[in-house]
Structure 1
């Protein structure tokens, strides 16, 4: 099995690379390191290509001595507060266009990262057939990528599986800074015995999914039919609940510090996935609930 992973030094990509190297005959990571960090690939034994795949005329033959069977496309600017909408769209969309064109020639199956952001402030539970209503440039780029994948699947007999990640947390996300999960950011505050800062009044909720489950979803996608699938738990977790679980795991007793939300224009107050399609078509069901996921994560961080 020959595998190519884009964005392989990033959060999801690096976790995939470390896991998939056990299954691959050849495995190559490509990343321009504008977002990801090489330290995420400690323990990776495959090849690493440092290149920007959003540029035109990417010479794949120069970098690869094999044609991949699977392309896991994780490369993306995921910072929803990134100030340059034009560059966000150019980078995310053109990267995917180049990957799809390469996949046509190599006949590789493409498994790509989409986002629950495409639902915007939609009603819950959010199913794959729900209206898409992206509220920022990042979410819009994923919306366009899904459209592109559908066209290439129909016109070029290409296999494409899109995974709409909900709120992912876990090891190897620290480099993302302010774009890292709230679970990570709150854990850092509470480890220093600071009151965790969350938007008023902590009742907003997310469908939080642990990175180990996301990796498993990508593995299941290798045999799944083309289409788009939610990758989530199907369970809501409020920010107050996150603080409660962190207090329990870290052995602290810190009350939330509620602050105003400056992102009300596009902020999703609630996300919750309908996970029935992923279960029936991919065979994917998340194994980690919020308690077991946070406990495993805090142990990996060395916080407990």
Structure 2
């Protein structure tokens, strides 16, 4: 299946055609790994993986994590799994809880079983800050969570429970990364469930007024993609046994309100197009299922994995905007 040499390690990236998944593909191919992708292209895009498609170290399997046979096929002779495949978005889960549950829970369980049976060395998966639910404590510390506020949050919490059971019962090494509002290159600005940063960027570029939900004082720990890539590599490669079979906040450890975010974007985009200075920012209703504030403690990741975020939100936004300006015009 792969033309990799015996000493070359193979990573399966589920959802590898998506925003985070395709960045992981590029990152680990550049590190000398063989990379295999399992994706059904329901939310991912072929253009995200097009640069790798003819590389000897890259293999694409078109399939669905809801199909156990696809998961088994994808896990054959794999050393590590980076499980990114999921239906994201709180609003999508509220509109269609059944499909979100099917993909995020049944698909996750299929992948755990396939990884266990293939004797995969380690299973690193995308968890979510939505797991903190209605907990009001700040910063968010891994072992203090509340009740989920959306079907999506329920599914991501169940993932953590299943991973814990599989590590204890079957000895499968699992690490969950609770992503906090990841942004960066290759993030899709289109569609009903587009993330706020690429959506606002595209609106500014089109001279449209971004609409902030509520007063704009809700805050998030916006996390640049390069910080996420670092965390995945640390989780995949750590030899610290105390670092295994647990979850980590994957964030920068700082929070930004939506009002501040919109102002940063406007300020940085003016350098590309001065006319953007004239665009107003409007406000709409609060969104169901949203938590008011999100701020991660990253002490656990620093202490057990040696994590040091490479990009603040401002540094990340400046890099991301260069990419968006080139690719969204």
Q: TM-score range by the shorter chain?
A: over 0.9
Pairs within 5 Å for 1:65-84: 67-82=77-92, 83-84=95-96
Is the Cα–Cα contact under 8 Å of residues 68 and 114 in structure 2 kept in the other structure? no
Query: Are residue 52 (structure 1) and residue 64 (structure 2) matched?
Result: yes
Equivalent of 1:280 in 303, 306, 312: 303
Please show how residues 148-227 of structure 1 align to structure 2 within 5 Å.
148-174=162-188, 177-222=191-236, 223=238, 224-227=243-246
Cα 1:93–1:267 change in 2 (3 A) is: same
Cα distance, 1:14–1:69 mapped onto 2, change above 3 Å: same
| TM-score between both structures, scaled by the size of structure 2 | 0.86
Q: 1:59 to 1:235 in 2, by over 3 A?
A: closer
Q: Is 1:247–2:266 an aligned residue pair?
A: yes
- How has the CA–CA distance of structure 1 residues 59 and 133 changed in structure 2, closer, same or farther, with 3 Å as cutoff? closer
Contact 2:64–2:71, Cα closer than 8 Å, also in 1: no
* Deviations 1:152-209 (CA, angstroms, capped at 9, x unpaired): 0001111000000010111112166232321111111111222221123211110100
Kept after mapping to 1: 8 A contact 2:81/2:123: yes
* Separation of aligned partners in 1, 2:89 and 2:267: 30
Contiguous gaps of at least 5 residues in structure 2: 1-8, 271-275
With 138-147 and 36-45 compared, the bigger mean Cα shift is at: 36-45
Q: How many residues were matched structurally?
A: 300
**2-structure distance, mates of 1:23, 1:300:** 22
Distance 1:88 1:230 in 2: 22
| TM-score, normalisation: structure 1 | 0.93
Preserved CA contact (<8 Å) 1:37 1:175:
no
Distance 2:217 2:48 in 1: 33
How large is the RMSD of aligned CA atoms in angstroms? 1.8
Aligned partners of 1:260, 1:277: CA distance in 2, in Å?
A: 35
**2:192 partner SS:** helix
2:71 and 2:111 in contact (8 A); partners too: no
State the SS of the aligned residue for 2:68.
Answer: coil
